[in-house]
Chain A
Amino acid sequence: MFDDINDLYQQVILDHCKQPRNFHELPQCSCSAQGFNPLCGDNLKLFLTLDGDVIKDAGFTGSGCCISKASASLLTDNVKGKTKAEAEQMFERVRDLVTTGKTTGDVGKLAVFAGVYKYPARVKCAILAWHALIGALRGEAAPVSTENEKT
C-alpha cells in the first residue's frame, strides 16, 4: 500500500528511527541545545563534546517522529570528527537537500533525506536536530524552535 512512500521512509531512516545511534546524554559535554517543534511536539536535546574546534562526540535524547529521530541519529554519526565549520557547512547542505531535494557536495548517508522535500509538512522534522546543532555550536541558550525558522 505504501510503495510511493519509500522515498520518505527509506530503510536507513526506519532503521535509525527504531534503533537510534548515540541515543544518550553526554554528561561531560562541552555544549548542548534543545530543539522543539511545537506543531508535532518533537523535542530533542543534542549534546556535543568538543576538542578545540573538532566535534569529538555527539549524542541526543528526547522524543519525536520517525523522521526527526532518524535525522538526529544520523546527524550524531555524521558530525563526529568534523570541525565546527565543517558541521555548519553540512547543516547548509542538509537544509538544501530537505527543502529542494538537491544539494552541492557530499552528504554521505544523509542522502536518504533527499525525498523529504516532497512532503512539506515533514521538512521541519528532518531539519530539527540540525537547528539544535547550530544552536549548540553557537551557544544559544534558548531552545531552538522550528517555528522561528523559515525551515
Chain B
Amino acid sequence: MTDWTKLRADFPILNQQVHGKPLVYFDNAATSQKPRFVIDALVHYYERDNANVHRGIHELSNRSTNAFEAARARTAKFLNARSADEIIWTRGTTEAINLVAATWGAKHLKAGDVILLTEVEHHSNLVPWQMLAQKTGAKIAYIPVTGDEGTLDLSKLDSLLTSQVKLLSMVHISNSMGTINPVAELCAKARKLGIVTLVDGAQSAGHLPVDLQAIGCDFFAFSGHKICGPTGIGALYGRTEILETMPPYQGGGEMILTVGYDKTEFKPAPHRFEAGTPDISGPIGLHAAMDYLDAVGREKIWQHDQELANYACEKLSALKNIRIFGPKQNRAGLVSFLLKDVHAHDVVTLADQGGVALRGGHHCTQPLMHKLGVESTARASFYFYNTKAEVDVFVDVIKEIQKFFAQ
C-alpha cells in the first residue's frame, strides 16, 4: 500500500496555511507542485555542475552535457519512445505544438488540406493551427463533442476523415472536462489513411503510464511543470522518420554542423530543432521528476487521481443546484462544475478564503465553453499528493459558498 500522506510530506509547499486555513491545492491541471527531490536536483546542478552544454571540453561542461542528454534518454524511456533522438526539448506543450506547426506544417501543408482537431482542444492546440491555416490556406475541421460529458462524437469520424485531411491533432485528456480520448484507436485509424497524428499529452503524461508505441502517434507534446518538474521545460516527441523530413525550427548555435557565410548544414534531429543555449536545469529537474513519479508508480498515481475525482463527483452530485461537466465513467483526475446563480470567479474567490485553490474561467477552451453555453466553469484538479480528506474540505467549502449566496 502506498502511504500517500508520507509522499505528501515530500512537497514543502503543501505544508502551509492560506488565509488562516490549511492549503488545499486543487489547481494541478494548471501546474503541479514540486517535491524536495526535484528542488534538490536543481540546487545540486547550480551548485556543482553548471556549465554550457555541447560546447566545452572541461569537466563541468562534460557533466552538464551528460546530465542534459541523460534527461533526454530518460524522457524517451518515460514515454516509451524508440530513441532519445526522438525527444526535442521545448518550453512546454505550447511550444512543442508550435514547433510542429512551424516546421512540419509549413513544409507539408498546402491550400485545400485539412487539419482535423476536436472541439475540446486547449487554445494551444487550436491557435497554432489557425495561424498555420491562415498562412497556407489549409482548412480546419473538428470532431464534435457530445455536450456536458465532454466526450467526442465519433459517429461523425468516418465522414470527417476525408482524403484532404493531412493532420489529426487532439488532446489526450481534456483539461476542462476530464475526458480521456481514445487516442490509440484514433491514431490507428488515421495512420491507415496516411494522416499524421499529434497527441497533446499535457494532462496525461505523468498522470498515467504513457506508451507512445502503443498509442502510435507521430507527435506527442507535454509540459514538465505539470508533472512535478520545473516550469519552462517540456518536450516534443516526434517519430524519427517524420523528424527527418522537417526543416529546422529556429536558427543559431547548437543546431548546425558547419556554417559558412552563404551556406549552413544542419544537425540531424533532435539538435536541429534546438537552437541556442537550451534550458539546461529544466531537463535535469524534469529527469528527477520522472524518477520520482516512477518510484511512486504511474499506475498507482492514475488510480489515485481517478479515485479522488470519482469521490469528488459523487459528493458534488449530492448537492442541489450544481451542474457537473465531464464523463460519468472513466474520468481523469479533475472535476469542472458550475453552481446555479454563482459565477465561477466568485466560487474561486470564496474557496480561496477557505484555503482551497481552484481554477475558474474558460480554462483556455473558449470555443468549448461557448458550445456548452457557459462563460466559464470552476475546476478542481487532483494529483497524487491530494487526499480524500481534502476533497471533504473542498465540498464543505462549496456548501458554504452556496449558503453565502443564498442569504
A contact residues vs B (CB 8 Å cutoff): 1-2, 4-5, 8-9, 14, 18, 39-43, 63-67, 119, 121-122, 125
CA distance A65 to B344 in the complex (A): 7
Complex CA distance for A42 and B362, rounded to whole angstroms? 11
Contact status B345-A2, CB under 8 Å = no
Establish whether residues A67 and B354, one from each chain, have CB atoms under 8 Å apart when the complex forms: no
Q: Is the CB of A5 within 8 A of B361?
A: no
A8 CA / B19 CA spacing, docked (Å) = 14
Known contacts A40-B361, A41-B369; A65/B397 CB under 8 A: no
Q: Is the interface of A mostly helix, strand, loop or mixed?
A: mixed
Q: Write the nearest CB–CB distance from A17 to chain B, whole angstroms.
A: 8
Question: Complex Cα distance A2/B354, Å?
Answer: 7
Report B-chain residues with C-beta under 8 Å of the C-beta of A14: 405, 407
Nearest-CB residue, chain B, relative to A4:
B353
* The one of B19, B345, B366, B376 that contacts A4, using a Cβ cutoff of 8 Å: B19
Contact of A65 among B346, B366, B369, B404 (CB under 8 A): B346
> Are B349 and A41 in touch, CB under 8 angstroms?
no
A18 to B342, CA, bound (A): 10
Which of A2, A5, A40 is the one whose CB lies under 8 Å from B343? A40
Query: Known interface pairs A1-B400, A40-B375. Does A122 touch B350 (Cβ–Cβ under 8 Å)?
Result: no
B224 within 8 A of A: no
* Chain B residue at minimum C-beta to C-beta distance from A122: B349
Q: Give bound CA distance, A125 to B343, whole Å.
A: 12
CA of A39 to CA of B123, assembled, Å: 13
A2 and B400: CB pair below 8 A?
yes
Q: Is the CB of A5 within 8 A of B400?
A: no
Q: 3 closest pairs, A vs B, by CB?
A: A41-B375, A65-B343, A65-B345
How many residues in B have their beta carbons less than 8 Å from beta carbons of A? 23
Question: Measured between C-beta atoms, what is the minimum distance from A83 to chain B in Å?
Answer: 33
Given that A2-B404, A14-B407, A39-B361 are known contacts, is A8 also in contact with B349, CB under 8 Å in the complex? yes
25 contacts between A and B (CB under 8 A): A1-B397, A2-B354, A4-B19, A5-B349, A14-B405, A18-B341, A18-B405, A40-B343, A40-B360, A40-B361, A40-B376, A41-B362, A41-B366, A41-B375, A43-B375, A63-B375, A64-B343, A64-B375, A65-B344, A65-B345, A66-B343, A66-B346, A66-B405, A119-B349, A121-B349
Q: Chain A contacts of B369 at CB under 8 A? A: 41
**Residues from chain B with Cβ under 8 Å of A125 in the complex:** 345
Q: Enumerate chain B residues within 8 angstroms of A67, measured Cβ to Cβ.
A: 345-346
Which residues of B (357-372) have their CB < 8 Å from a CB of A?
360-362, 366, 369
Which B residues touch A43, using CB under 8 A? 375
Distance of A66 Cα from B407 Cα, bound (Å): 14
Q: Are B346 and A2 in contact (CB under 8 A)?
A: no
Q: What's the nearest-Cβ distance from chain B to residue A145, in Å?
A: 14
Once bound together, how far apart are the Cα atoms of A66 and B350, in whole Å?
A: 12
Chain A residue nearest to B399 in the complex (CB): A1
Q: Which residue of B lies closest to A11 (CB)?
A: B407
Residue in A closest to B404 when the chains form the complex, CB atoms: A2
CA A65 to CA B366, docked complex, whole Å: 17
Q: Which residues of the other chain, A, contact B354 by a CB distance below 8 angstroms?
A: 1-2
Interface residues of B in 329-355 (CB under 8 A from A): 341-346, 349-350, 353-354
Residue of B343, B354, B405 with highest tally of chain A CB at under 10 A: B343
Name the residue of chain A whose CB is nearest to the CB of B396: A1
- Give the chain B neighbours of A2 by CB distance below 8 A: 350, 353-354, 400, 404
Q: How far is the CB of B206 from chain A (nearest CB, A)?
A: 27
CB distance from A51 to the nearest CB of B (A): 35
User: In the complex the two chains form, what is the Cα distance from A40 to B360 in whole Å?
Assistant: 8
Contact status A1-B375, CB under 8 Å:
no
Given A2-B400, A64-B375, 5 more A-B residue pairs with CB atoms under 8 Å apart are A2-B350, A8-B349, A40-B344, A66-B342, A119-B349
Interfacial chain B residues near A41, Cβ < 8 Å: 361-362, 366, 369, 375-376
- Shortest CB-to-CB span from B74 to chain A, Å, is 37
Within 8 A of A (CB), among B302-348: 341-346
List, in ascending order, chain B residues with CB within 8 A of A5's CB.
Answer: 349-350, 353
Cα of A39 to Cα of B343 in the assembled complex, Å = 13
CB proximity of B397 to chain A, nearest CB, Å: 7
